[in-house]
Structure 1
Amino acid sequence: MNFRHLIFLLISCFSFAQNRDFPSAKVDSIVNRIQLPVFPSYQINVLKLGAKGDSLTNNKAAFDKAMALCKKNNGGTIIVPKGIYKVNGPIHFTSNVNLKIEKGAKIKFSDNPQDYLPMVLTSWEGTMLYNYSPLIYANECTNIAITGQGTIDGEGGKTWKTFKTKEEAGKNRSRDMNHSSVPVKDRKFGEGYFLRPQLIQFLNCKNILVENIRIENSPFWCLHLLKSQSITVRGVSYKSLNYNNDGIDPEYAKDVLIENVTFDNGDDNVAIKAGRDHEGRANTATPSENIVIRNCNFKGLHGVVIGSEMSAGVQNVYVENCKTVGYLKRGIYIKTNADRGGFIKNIFVRNIQLDEVEDCLYMTANYHGEGKGFQSDISNIHFSNITCNKASESGIVIQGFPDKKIKNISLTNIEIKSAKNAISNENAENVVMTDVFIGKRATIPTAAK
């Protein structure tokens, strides 16, 4: 090796060492530029519009009228006082509105699919299409919020739950339309296709706050942040255990703060996505980026997931100071496959306490062994100060491809007290481990007898 090559190698190593430190200044910059929504002083109590919190009356008309009055007044706050409010159909936001669900109040949606027609522009597992309206839906809105200490119940465990076994044909049709670039206006689903709606979806929105509410019993994903930016989700709690009940799904989302959330979900707690396959790759100008997740309690299937629909790319994700309060299958899970393309880069995770999991840290470019032709770029992934009591399967898994390796992974101060398999590391380069302990820590060597 000549002197010039040595200098280059030393600079590269120093740069990588510097770049793997948790970038607190970047986190602060993201959080500081996220704007909280502001609202006019106008307020309307749904009781004054004829709503009844008796768990029987259909209050759809009262909620629609409240939203219309806010629109007429250029925004305001809709107050939902104590009671159980049956709503047979979706709530559609307008700009500058705070839906305030007070303590002791519950919005309980119907589970009749007909109530969520006509169809609206939405997305289903990474493909844009027209489908049943999400139960709470906003499109092209600015300054919107759902606040208060009340509950939103999606009534997802009965009729909607039966859709799971019937969705395959609709799901495959949506993916075929994605792969063959069928115009979105022609992607009509709804009745007969059995694609369940999200509980809450913000599409093309800006300056969003979801604070302190409780989310229960969603038909599908709970909170979908789609093509939106400047978002704060904090103090939310969950008990939503139906099929595919992800807690929070940022997708093509930018500048997102998720903090102090208590998860209890039938699927991923946070799943960061960015479109599927051909459609996602056509939208690389709008990756999911600048996402901060901190001070959360995980419980469910997986803690924080990136993928598998991430074809437009995911970058600049910062996870810190989180812990489990119950079972997780996997703690941090990065998953993509050779159908996706795109990239996952600049992911920083620190100060995570896991109890018992199946796998602690799992990174795979070959999710389900599917696909060909579009391998993803995975690089600059950094874990530090991670503890785990037990991994019933693997402590750390890294799986790249021989011709597309996962690059620049750092693992610093990782302690997994028990694991069936310690480390599986294949097709990765520049993996740096510092103070990594899996199983019982070794002490000084024993003397010869």
Structure 2
Amino acid sequence: MGSGSAAIGAATLSGCSSAVKPGNDFAWNDEASAIRQRISPPTFPDRSISITDLGARPGKGVNVGDYIEQAITQLAVAGGGKVIIPAGEFYTGPVHLLSNINLHISEGAVLHFIADPELYKPYVYTRWEGTELMGYSPLIYAFEQTNVAITGKGTLEGGGSPTQWWPWKGKWKEASWGDDPVENQKFTRDVLRQMAEDQVPVADRVFDDNYLRPPFIQPYRCKNVLIEGVTIKNSPFWLVNPVLSENVTVRDIHCDSHGPNSDGCDPESCTDVLIENCVFDTGDDCIAIKSGRNADGRRVAAPCQNILINNCQMKAGHGGVVIGSEISGGVKNLYAQHCEMSSPDLDRGIRIKTNSIRGGHLQNLNYRYLRIGKVKDAIVINFYYEEGDVGQFMPKLEAITIENLHVVKARRAFMMRGYPHTPITGVTLKNLTFENVAEESVIENVADIEQHNIQINGKAYEI
């Protein structure tokens, strides 16, 4: 399967007996149809500049960032257009997009982002794991811009590796870098989170010693965003992370990054988002819907809403379609359909993760026609994620529907853990088939579950 295209209708994942027929309609109900009609990718003037026309040359050790900035500025002044990265290997620092700019990565082009943290200063207004701060610039960043795009069939290479960016995670899996006593994200993260709890202004959340890795692509408070066609590899942190943005289209991209926190696509507190025809092969969640963490998420108070997911392929990752865990602003109106998931390294298929510190009102979440080949836990709703039950902000689930799900092989069909005082409610399960399940499901504190036609190992099942 070529990079930048998820031709799922013609492909069969390992462990799946047949592929799901793709569909691009959202005639689920009037609401889903209206969301689809509203989402429209931006268009750009028929005007372009190739960075090589300005003097940029390919080759390691040559930073072409100034040429990219020059092309963006010239086109923005002229009213917008396409900045072309032609075929070849180019190296740059951060790229900041302006309104009406399409950064086009041509087929055969590889745009490498140099892994030198000093290049990603001065700090910018950003969000890190759901908390706002002044931090390292994302590799590709746009702030309060309108009509921005990243397109093309080329490759974006983030430079994350066991020697660059990723060691700031600290101890992770079997990584040989260990747990550095100085260069470790927890020393910045813990202070940042306390600042948020203390309501320190975002402008004052600045760190001389900052070990919070930047996301790859982050449009922040933008309108009309398109990310299309590109292959995204080896991100320092999350790959595609639109924040507080409206009318976002992410389609035909290929995410290939297996470092720590290599989430594929994480819309945060966005409105009207389409994620379609994408391939996710990641070191963390494939798609994770987010809306801010704890006190900071409640301060911003912006849910992630009106999200459409269609015809995507999930390979390795912590979860396929995920809600959380930074979910304090809530989520509403999610429609996910016609996706394939399968890998020995896929931990969960459908996943909701939160706790009583993060809370979140999760309402009108809909999943249908999903097929999972091989997974550890197929459906997970967990109120005990990380901190457990030590807060005062109870999660609330309302109108969650999962229907027409087929799972070939799983360790467990369900892992659903609510609180004794706040059980999991508001869930409807219809026409779920699990062919081969090795272990019993984990069901704790679940109430008000509507269920129809659930089959596990060839037998009828009820929660």
The two structures have a TM-score, normalised by structure 1, of 0.90
Aligned 8 A contact 1:90 1:137 in 2: yes
Note if 1:117 corresponds to 2:121. Answer: yes
Aligned 8 A contact 1:298 1:325 in 2: yes
Aligned 8 A contact 2:342 2:374 in 1: no
Residue aligning to 2:6: none
Aligned 8 A contact 1:45 1:79 in 2: yes
| CA drift at 1:75 | 1.1
Note if 1:185 corresponds to 2:219. Answer: no
Mapping of 1:325-404 within 5 angstroms?
325-326=342-343, 327-368=345-386, 369-392=388-411, 394-404=412-422
The letter for the 2-side match of 1:113 is P
User: After the TM superposition, which segments of 4 or more aligned residues of structure 1 sit over 4 Å from their partners?
Assistant: none
| Residue 370 to residue 442, structure 1, CA distance change in 2 (3 Å) | closer
| Residue 411 to residue 39, structure 1, CA distance change in 2 (3 Å) | same
| Residue 135 to residue 370, structure 1, CA distance change in 2 (3 Å) | farther
Which deviates more from structure 2 when the two are superposed, residues 351-360 or residues 22-31? 22-31
- For residues 268 and 117 of structure 2, the distance between their equivalents in structure 1, rounded to whole angstroms, comes to 25
Note if 1:45 corresponds to 2:61. Answer: no
Q: Which structure is higher in RCO with an 8 Å CA cutoff and minimum separation 6?
A: 2
| CA drift at 1:110 | 0.3
Deviation string 1:373-414 (CA, Å, 9 cap, x unpaired) is 11111121110111112222x211222222222222111111
| CA drift at 1:442 | 6.4
Aligned 8 A contact 1:204 1:226 in 2: yes
Residue aligning to 2:87: 82
- For residues 460 and 147 of structure 2, the distance between their equivalents in structure 1, rounded to whole angstroms, comes to 55
- For residues 245 and 339 of structure 1, the distance between their equivalents in structure 2, rounded to whole angstroms, comes to 24
- For residues 293 and 229 of structure 1, the distance between their equivalents in structure 2, rounded to whole angstroms, comes to 16
Aligned 8 A contact 1:281 1:341 in 2: no
Residue aligning to 1:195: 212
| CA drift at 1:325 | 4.5
Aligned 8 A contact 1:150 1:214 in 2: yes
Instruction: Count matched residues.
Output: 419
Q: Which has the larger radius of gyration?
A: 1
Give the gaps of 5 or more residues in structure 2.
Answer: 1-25, 171-183
| CA drift at 1:358 | 1.1
| CA drift at 1:419 | 2.1
Deviation string 1:7-61 (CA, Å, 9 cap, x unpaired) is xxxxxxxxxxxxxx98343222111101311212221111111111234421111
Note if 1:154 corresponds to 2:158. Answer: yes
Aligned 8 A contact 1:379 1:406 in 2: no
- For residues 406 and 39 of structure 2, the distance between their equivalents in structure 1, rounded to whole angstroms, comes to 31
**Does the residue aligned with 1:428 lie in a helix, a strand or coil?**
coil
Residue aligning to 2:229: 212
The letter for the 1-side match of 2:34 is S
The two structures have a TM-score, normalised by structure 2, of 0.88
The letter for the 2-side match of 1:255 is D
- For residues 362 and 22 of structure 1, the distance between their equivalents in structure 2, rounded to whole angstroms, comes to 27
Note if 1:316 corresponds to 2:338. Answer: no
Note if 1:145 corresponds to 2:145. Answer: no
Specify which structure has the higher proportion of helix: 1
Deviation string 1:400-438 (CA, Å, 9 cap, x unpaired) is 222222222111111112223343333222211111011
The letter for the 2-side match of 1:384 is E
Residue aligning to 1:132: 136
Deviation string 1:323-345 (CA, Å, 9 cap, x unpaired) is 02433100011010010122111
**Does the residue aligned with 1:208 lie in a helix, a strand or coil?**
strand
Aligned 8 A contact 2:454 2:460 in 1: no
Note if 1:63 corresponds to 2:68. Answer: yes
Deviation string 1:162-199 (CA, Å, 9 cap, x unpaired) is 2111111111111101111111111013x522100011
- Equivalent pairs: percent with the same residue? 39
Aligned 8 A contact 2:328 2:360 in 1: yes
Aligned 8 A contact 2:348 2:380 in 1: yes
Aligned 8 A contact 1:337 1:367 in 2: yes
Matching residue within 418, 430, 434 for 2:448: 430
- For residues 325 and 400 of structure 1, the distance between their equivalents in structure 2, rounded to whole angstroms, comes to 27
| CA drift at 1:370 | 4.9
Aligned 8 A contact 2:293 2:358 in 1: yes
Residue aligning to 2:169: 164
**Does the residue aligned with 2:134 lie in a helix, a strand or coil?**
strand
| CA drift at 1:62 | 0.6
**Does the residue aligned with 2:279 lie in a helix, a strand or coil?**
coil
Mapping of 1:269-288 within 5 angstroms?
269-284=286-301, 286-288=302-304
Note if 1:105 corresponds to 2:109. Answer: yes
Deviation string 1:192-224 (CA, Å, 9 cap, x unpaired) is 221000111000001011111100010000011
Aligned 8 A contact 1:56 1:85 in 2: no
- For residues 86 and 459 of structure 2, the distance between their equivalents in structure 1, rounded to whole angstroms, comes to 55
- For residues 22 and 431 of structure 1, the distance between their equivalents in structure 2, rounded to whole angstroms, comes to 25
Aligned 8 A contact 1:247 1:269 in 2: yes
Which deviates more from structure 2 when the two are superposed, residues 427-436 or residues 289-298? 427-436
**Does the residue aligned with 2:66 lie in a helix, a strand or coil?**
helix
| CA drift at 1:283 | 3.0
Give the gaps of 5 or more residues in structure 1.
Answer: 1-20, 444-449
Specify which structure has the higher proportion of strand: 1
